Chain A
């Protein structure tokens, strides 16, 4: 069975991985932050490279288009941010603004009662859990370390990422943030990613939620048409704590939001809700792993995808229940609406269960708008385009309604409205 195989020419993915490694070699002496984490990230990335389509976790999201692009250093100094800043939701809250992965104090307003450290990557995330986390660890230049002390209600904080790449100069940036909530603390973090040009935004955010603490994490991925958005969140929740997240993806050429939530303490809870609205030839992937590692933990997920044009939507959601996690309550629903004959949805909900006294379920549906409902609306005098919009909104409502933060929800609804307006009737 030992067939002699000629050494194959390096693939595109290998070439791109090599370019990232070369960049790391060139920069590592100069970059701030924990050198050990950086070295670990580099070692892992060198061994594993960029994920390919043969890997189970990446079977539906192919990074080939990313691998075709030569990424350069961001040209932050030249960046004109005014137009992009205007796109941020008008929420009256302190904000941290990153431009091409670097903190910009001049555009930011620091919060009271929250400790924020910038100037170096914040390094709580584990680079061994994901290729892109390893890539991030070896190339991160900056990030925000956000700490809320025990018992403090820190209100709302906006974390904005602006990506700017001039024509013909694609850039890549890998900010690395860490959020830590002490016992009983609360924070609403609204994260917005937008930009212009061709760029790779590969942020990693780790969140530690203390006992009885609540982190509400609202996210809007509204990246530039030519952008690649590959983000990873690693959240760990202590007993009675709650990580409550909603992500809306409607931008980027190729987007993947990965959320890993570990419920580490008894009665910890996580909500991982999301909506993806995709048009044109966009590709978006929402991938989650919820690890129930303690008894009586609960997770809820409602993920909705609406596809028009030749867009492709992906959902992968895994619920893991460890032996110790008796009385786990896990629920996951993902639904997709295909509005066009060229759209494609791939969905992989997954249960991996090692405890017997649990209540876990998932459901998935894929289809078009219900003809019966459409007729009912039209028979009441509502024109078809409005009727369709109503039904799509109703479809999304289930994921959006649980958002208690009114300004945050309004911002997300506004983004959905703008998306709907750019759709041909």
Chain B
């Protein structure tokens, strides 16, 4: 969701409801029948014309999933999810993978326009200052509907395409890396995703290539009673560098919708992957009706020496967020980072954090988490830092701060700190506070409205995280924070 003026306007233009992305779009859809069984998986695989190995991989994941139970350790409460009451495949009719933007359904283009997502490659005008260009992969329910700037990227050697297309065009790469970071049986939701994933993005940065522009995927859930199960795979070979952005919205609907994504990152020697997310799925209404259940497994493997994976997330949406972007620091001197802002209001529940697994020597990790709870929400940071015996000289620094707005919400911090190497040095700090009356008074005495003052203070509270976002994203994230907290004070 890169910021263009339209997006900012969309954020600013207050509608009567709090969620500005809640419209739905009438698109002629192909829907698989409700329910989950081997036949549905075969149907998904067949629709995507997949090779046998991938179908088998899906079926194996499905078999595993059937033996598993939903994890219960998170501080989350929701009615049981009926996995048989969902559509596992929903695609706009017309071709699943349009060859060019001209073939994309104009209704869809209009919808993305309304969301502020530029699906047009603007021609550069001579002598005119252009905003930074961003390549976008737009995923609509179960399929990718458009990917921009592919030619420019191809010239640099970068592959950026829907994963369904990568299965056709680059099967050797997909087969080598798919499930190598998050195995099919990793956890309940990862197993479900492995069985039924429909689309997502594939990025391959060859050796020594610095990706010439930001890459971005925009996820949109539109159809009713549909789960979205996207799968993203990003590989940076030796010395490759990429910055990837992800944004998400969904229409405002009364029922809960399930989103169970898997993101895998692989960084070889000296590679750098920066993965930024602004998650703004529909959070449900003030009474907690509706909203997305967001169960996501994101993990990066720093396989190579001196590789670096950096996760930055701004989580404002979803009724439930269950998400722990993690780093496996295998390569010596590899670096993992996790910067997070999670805002919960109304009845939202977020249980989010990270895992930093130090395996290689002199590996370093940094965790900065800012949780803001308002309304009747619950916001939990849950994080693991584990140092294995071989990780000589490992370092971790963790800072976790919570801000409570109002006395009906909860803020929780659950770190796990495990060290098996004496030369490792781990530091963890956590604080909980509220916006002080002095701060509020000072701001208001200087003429700020109550809400502007809160926005200002909250943005200050989150500064260490927001500064990690690519600039256009950061501006938008700031607006989003202010909008999310509207009406929380007073």
Check: B429 CB closer than 8 A to any chain A CB: yes
The answer on a CB contact under 8 Å between B412 and A356 is no
CA distance A336 to B66 in the complex (A): 42
Query: Residues of A contacting B419 with CB < 8 Å?
Result: 336, 338, 344-346, 366-367
Interface residues on chain A, size class: 35 or more
**B95 beta carbon closer than 8 Å to chain A:** no
Interface residues of A in 351-372 (CB under 8 A from B): 351-368
Residues of A within 8 A of B420 (CB): 343-344
User: In chain A, residues 325-358, which have Cβ atoms closer than 8 Å to a Cβ of chain B?
Assistant: 326, 336, 338-341, 343-358
Q: Determine which of A3, A347, A364, A365 lies in contact with B66 in the assembled complex, contact meaning CB atoms within 8 Å.
A: A3
Q: In the assembled complex, how far is the CB of residue B458 from the closest CB belonging to chain A, in whole angstroms?
A: 14
Known contacts A338-B422, A348-B417; decide if A362 and B409 are in contact (CB<8 Å). Answer: no
- Provide the bound-state CA to CA distance between A8 and B399, in Å: 44
Give Cα A345–Cα B420 distance, bound, in whole angstroms.
7
Please measure, in the bound complex, the distance between the C-alpha atom of A357 and the C-alpha atom of B433, giving whole angstroms. 7
Partner of B423, one of A354, A356, A357, A368: A368
With both beta carbons as reference points, the residue of chain A lying nearest to B75 in the complex is identified as A352
A323 is an interface residue with CB less than 8 A from chain B: yes
Q: How distant is the Cα of A341 from the Cα of B424 in the complex, in angstroms?
A: 10
- The answer to whether B418 and A345 have CB atoms under 8 Å apart is yes
Stretch at the interface among B103-111, B282-290, B400-408: B400-408
A112 an interface residue at 8 Å Cβ cutoff? no
Q: B residues within 8 A CB of A4?
A: none
User: B425 and A356: CB pair below 8 A?
Assistant: no
Let me know if A353 and B421 touch, CB within 8 A. no
Determine whether A9 belongs to the interface, using a CB cutoff of 8 Å to chain B. Answer: no
Residues of B within 8 A of A406 (CB): none
Pair A349/B428 contact, Cβ less than 8 Å: yes
B15 at the interface (CB under 8 A from A): no
Say whether A363 contacts B414, CB under 8 Å: no
Contact of A364 among B73, B417, B433 (CB under 8 A): B417
A326 to B422, CA, bound (A): 40
A336 and chain B: residue at smallest CB distance: B419
Q: Quick check: B410 and A353 within 8 Å, CB to CB?
A: yes
Does B249 belong to the interface (CB within 8 Å)? no
Is there a chain A Cβ closer than 8 Å to B441's Cβ?
no
Pair B415/A365 contact, Cβ less than 8 Å: no
Q: Does A56 contact B (CB under 8 A)?
A: yes
The answer to whether B413 touches A351 (Cβ under 8 A) is yes
Interchain CA distance A341-B391 in the complex, whole Å: 11
Known A-B contacts A339-B422, A356-B407; the reply to A366 vs B413 at CB < 8 A is no
Whether A1 sits at the interface, judged by CB under 8 Å, is: yes
Q: B470: CB under 8 A from chain A?
A: no
Interface SS of chain B: strand
Q: Which residues of A contact B432 (CB under 8 A)?
A: 351, 353, 358-361
* Distance of A362 Cα from B427 Cα, bound (Å): 11
Q: How far is the CB of A323 from chain B (nearest CB, A)?
A: 6
User: How many Å from the CB of A202 to the closest CB on chain B?
Assistant: 27
Alpha-carbon separation in the docked complex, A339 to B419 (Å): 12
CB of B366, distance to nearest CB on chain A (Å): 15
Given A356-B407, A357-B434, A364 and B428 touching (CB < 8 A)?
yes
Bound Cα distance A408, B396 (Å)? 37
Say yes or no for B43: interface residue by CB 8 A criterion.
no
Query: Is the C-beta of B416 less than 8 angstroms from some C-beta in chain A?
Result: yes
- Residues 1 to 57 of chain A near chain B (Cβ within 8 Å): 1, 3, 56
Contact yes or no, A356 B409, CB < 8 A = yes
A260 to B256, CA, bound (A): 39
Q: Restricting to B303-333, which residues have a CB under 8 Å from any CB of A?
A: none
Which of chain B's residues have a CB closer than 8 A to the CB of A360?
A: 431-432
| The one of A326, A347, A353 that contacts B411, using a Cβ cutoff of 8 Å | A353
Contact, CB under 8 Å: A351 / B402: yes
Q: Which chain A residues border B430 with CB–CB below 8 Å? A: 349, 351, 361-363
Encoded as 1 (CB less than 8 Å from any A CB) or 0, chain B from 387 to 405 comes to: 1010000000000001011
Bound Cα distance from A323 to B422, whole angstroms: 40
A345 to B410, CA, bound (A): 29
Q: How far is the CA of A323 from the CA of B424 in the complex (A)?
A: 38
Task: Check A346 against B417 for contact (C-beta < 8 Å).
Answer: yes
Closest CB in chain B relative to A356 CB, distance in Å: 4
Instruction: Give the residue name and chain of the A residue nearest to B385 (CB).
Output: A366
* Residue among A347, A352, A356, A368 having the largest count of chain B Cβ atoms under 10 Å: A356
A228 to B381, CA, bound (A): 34
Select B405's contact among A340, A343, A356, A358, beta carbons within 8 Å. Answer: A356
CB A71 to nearest CB in B, in angstroms, measures 31
| Contact across chains for A353 and B404 when beta carbons are under 8 A apart | yes
Decide: B404 and A356 in contact? CB cutoff 8 A.
Answer: yes
Q: Judge whether B456 is part of the interface by a CB distance below 8 angstroms.
A: no
Complex: how many Å from CA A345 to CA B416?
11
Q: Is the CB of B429 within 8 A of A361?
A: yes
Residue of B nearest to A316 (CB): B416
The interface residues of chain B lying within 8 Å CB-to-CB of A351 are 402, 411-413, 430, 432
One of B415, B422, B427 near A343 (C-beta < 8 A): B422
In the complex, chain B residues whose CB is within 8 Å of the CB of A365: 425-428
Residues of chain B with a CB closer than 8 A to A350's CB: 412-415
| Residue ID in chain B nearest A2 by CB atoms | B66
* B426 pairs with A364, CB closer than 8 A: yes
> Looking at A352, A362, A365, A366, which has the most chain B CB atoms within 10 Å of its CB?
A366
Q: Does B130 contact A (CB under 8 A)?
A: no
Chain B residues within 8 Å of A367, by CB: 419, 422, 424-426
Q: Which residue of the partner chain A has the closest CB to B392? A: A341
**A interface footprint on B96-125 (CB within 8 Å = 1, 0 otherwise):** 000000000000000000000000000000
Given contacts A3-B66, A367-B426, contact A357 B416 (CB under 8 A): no
> Is B17 close to A, CB under 8 A?
no
What separation, in Å, do the CA atoms of A368 and B387 have in the docked complex? Answer: 13
Interface residue from A56, A346, A363, A368 paired with B429 (Cβ < 8 Å): A363
Q: Which residues from chain A contact B405 at a C-beta distance below 8 Å?
A: 356
- Whether a CB of chain A sits under 8 angstroms from the CB of B445 is no
Taking the closest CB of chain B, its distance from the CB of A60, in whole angstroms, is 8
Question: Are A323 and B408 in touch, CB under 8 angstroms?
Answer: yes
A209 smallest CB distance to B (angstroms):
26
Give min CB distance, A17 to chain B, whole Å. 23
Smallest CB–CB gap between B371 and chain A, Å? 10
A3-B67, A350-B412, A351-B402 are known contacts; what are 17 more A-B pairs with Cβ within 8 Å?
Answer: A336-B419, A338-B422, A344-B420, A345-B417, A346-B419, A347-B418, A349-B428, A349-B430, A350-B414, A353-B404, A354-B407, A354-B409, A359-B432, A363-B429, A364-B415, A364-B428, A365-B427
Give 25 CB contacts A-B under 8 Å: A3-B66, A343-B422, A344-B420, A345-B419, A346-B416, A348-B414, A348-B415, A349-B413, A349-B417, A349-B428, A350-B415, A354-B407, A354-B410, A356-B404, A356-B409, A358-B404, A358-B433, A360-B432, A362-B413, A364-B426, A364-B427, A366-B419, A366-B425, A367-B422, A368-B425
The 8 closest A-B pairs by CB, nearest first: A338-B422, A356-B404, A367-B425, A351-B413, A364-B428, A347-B417, A368-B422, A360-B432
